[in-house]
Amino acid sequence: MSLQPHYGSQLRPRGESLADLLERVLDKGIVVAGDIVVGIADVELLTLKIRLLVCSVDTAERMGIDWWKHDPFLTRGSGDGHDGRLQERVQRIEALLEEGGGRRQEVPKRGH
Amino acid sequence: MATDIRQATGWYVYAVCEPGDLKLTGLESVDGGHPLETISGDGVSVIVSEVRLAALQGLEEEAPTEDGRLAQMARRHDAVVEAAFSQGTLLPLRLGTVLRDRKAVAQLLSGAGPYFRDELQRLRGCREWQVKVLREHQSERSSEEGRNFGSGTAYLAARAAAQKERDETATKLNVALERLDAGAATAADASEPIRWLTQGTLYAAAFLVPGQQEAAFQDAVEQGGAGLRELGVGVELRGPFPPYHFVDAKLGGGPQ
């Protein structure tokens, strides 16, 4: 087997989906808040509002994101530390195998 | 007097970097209408552009699509950060960071300059790589589905066998994933889980890798990936990226 790194013409990986891109640029990176941020027309809440949009079940489903068991931003009970990550992964593998075995993985109902 | 949003502008901040000449020609600002520039102070620089606030309005009300306004803004932001990163160490800011004016940009630099310098020093020479393990194909339907078993006992036995097979596969996958994760981590300075997973993803993590360890890191991923490929799943190595998953600061107060 050979793993070819996804180098682009510069540094960008080829074929990156919007979901992958937003995971990096919207969920990560330094956050600046406070009174130096623009306070007109709710632009100071822009990042937060877009994150809420992307994390809504409808949007996430449309974009193919399975965040609901894994994003502590909006979920409770996510794993913490190595044991938590392992537990998450076990649950994920079992869910995917179960899905492959003929059942659809149910999307949990969430309030808005 | 109320500000007219149609006329109002702010200063969009892309990244913090070390002072020096950056080549940002040919790149578009997030609103596509302003030049990119750097503003320096307290030993660091920030990459900024003026931005029409009207261009940012209502983004949270549109369903994101691959060619929609949010996608265009995110790709322009990403292109600027990556172009700068190809020229030196930087700290990426989160998408949608807009400061009031140039004075606010100067305030950011004077207030957080020491922190930015320390972080740039910590991350110098390192790049982020991402490893994703994906179910490549929809698994075979379970053996009991659509078959005539003749009796309830035979059906239950087939179901139990299918469940046992799934359990065994899950155990093997977990062992192989642990091996991949541990092997990659030994060649990296740090790792972080990727939490917004796309469907079919079994594992996704970001690794902060110093330049001199990149070959060892790629070897480790290749070795760990071989065991997973044998189990019928795909392994992707993506990068290099700016160290998005390894800057985790919130400067100032308020929500986010």
- A41 assigned to some structural domain: yes
Token pair 């956050």 is found at A31
Residue of B215 and A92 predicted with greater confidence: B215
- A23 assigned to some structural domain: yes
- A52 assigned to some structural domain: yes
Taking 50 as the pLDDT cut, the residues of chain B under it are 138-142, 254-256
- Identify residue A95 by its one-letter amino acid code: A
- A108 assigned to some structural domain: no
The residue range of the domain holding A42 is 15-65
How far apart are the two ends of chain B, measured CA to CA in Å?
28
Token pair 């044998």 is found at B230
Partner-chain contact A36 B229, CB within 8 Å: no
Q: Which residue of B has its CA nearest to A75?
A: B195
Number of domains within chain A: 1
**Of the partner residues B5, B8, B64, the one whose CB lies closest to the CB of residue A59:** B64
pLDDT for residue B130: 95
DSSP string of B111-126, one letter each residue: HHHHHHHHHHHHHTTE
- Collect all residues of chain B within an 8 Å Cβ-Cβ radius of residue A22: 64, 70, 74, 95, 196
- A44 assigned to some structural domain: yes
Q: Give kind and range of the element (H or E) at residue B178.
A: helix B152-186
Q: How far apart are CA B89 and CA B20, in angstroms?
A: 11
Closest CA to B56 of B40, B37, B33, B26: B33
Partner-chain contact A67 B99, CB within 8 Å: no
- A104 assigned to some structural domain: no
A72 prior amide bond cis, ω within 30: no
- Collect all residues of chain A within an 8 Å Cβ-Cβ radius of residue B8: 40-41
B193 prior amide bond cis, ω within 30: no
Band (pLDDT 50/70/90 cuts) for residue A62 is: low
- A32 assigned to some structural domain: yes
Q: Which residue of B has its CA nearest to A54?
A: B64
> Which two tokens mark A4?
């070819």
Q: What secondary structure letter does DSSP report for A72? A: T
pLDDT for residue B232: 85
- A49 assigned to some structural domain: yes
ipTM of the complex: 0.82
Band (pLDDT 50/70/90 cuts) for residue A2 is: very low
Partner-chain contact B94 A28, CB within 8 Å: yes
